[in-house]
Amino acid sequence: MGLGSDVFEVADLRADSVVIGNHRLQGIICTLEPGTTLPPEAEQQNIVGTVGGGLLRRFVVVFDFPKGKLYLVPGPNYREKDEGDMSGIALGRYNDRVLVIRVSPDMPAHAAGLRELDKIIRVQDKAATELSLEEIRKILKSGDKKKISLRVRRGEKEFDVVLTLERAI
């Protein structure tokens, strides 16, 4: 969801390699912008996509604004494997609430019956309000076939669901 815009669909993919400066990283998750289509021969082409925190968290990043330069020094997460969401939900924090803002079809959250605007109350027996979104996202990509319990509020009803995580890409 963009600031002041409608919700739009994006496509994630795992790139064989990403080159940034003199660094070549393997298996990075990239996002293709809406409307991007990949030709059948895409495996042999350079494709422009968006990378973000999943790549930059591997480095100590220094922005030199006066010179218009970005310096990347390998950090402690440099060799960490990149994992994407395995639950099929996108979350947002609004005031004291953690809300489902998107449910991806054919993913565990969809199979469990979660819906947009459901409020997440607990994640693995911890209050969702006590966890950062980054901590919740880390739990939701913690391993293929791992079971994650959620307490959910929809309207006036509260219920429990168990998601069996699934590696999508």
pLDDT at 55: 80
Predicted local distance difference test score (pLDDT) of residue 77: 87
Q: Is 109 helix (H, G, I), strand (E, B) or coil?
A: helix
pTM for the full predicted model: 0.68
Confidence band of 6 (pLDDT split at 50, 70, 90): very low
Yes or no: say if 120 and 91 are a contact pair by the CB < 8 Å rule.
yes
Task: Output the pLDDT for position 79.
Answer: 86
For residues 51 and 74, what is the distance between their CA atoms, to the nearest angstrom?
A: 16
Q: Read off the pLDDT of residues 63-116 as tens digits, 9 standing for 90 and up.
A: 999 999 989 999 998 988 878 889 999 899 988 899 999 898 889 999 999 999
- Which of these CATH numbers, 3.40.50.150, 2.40.10.10, 2.70.70.10, 2.30.42.10, describes 89-164? 2.30.42.10
CA dihedral angle for residue 135, residue 141, residue 147, residue 150, rounded to 10 degrees: 40
- Residue whose tokens read 């600031």: 3
CATH 2.30.42.10 domain residues, the chain: 89-164
Structure tokens at 84: 């994407």
At 46 the pLDDT is: 57
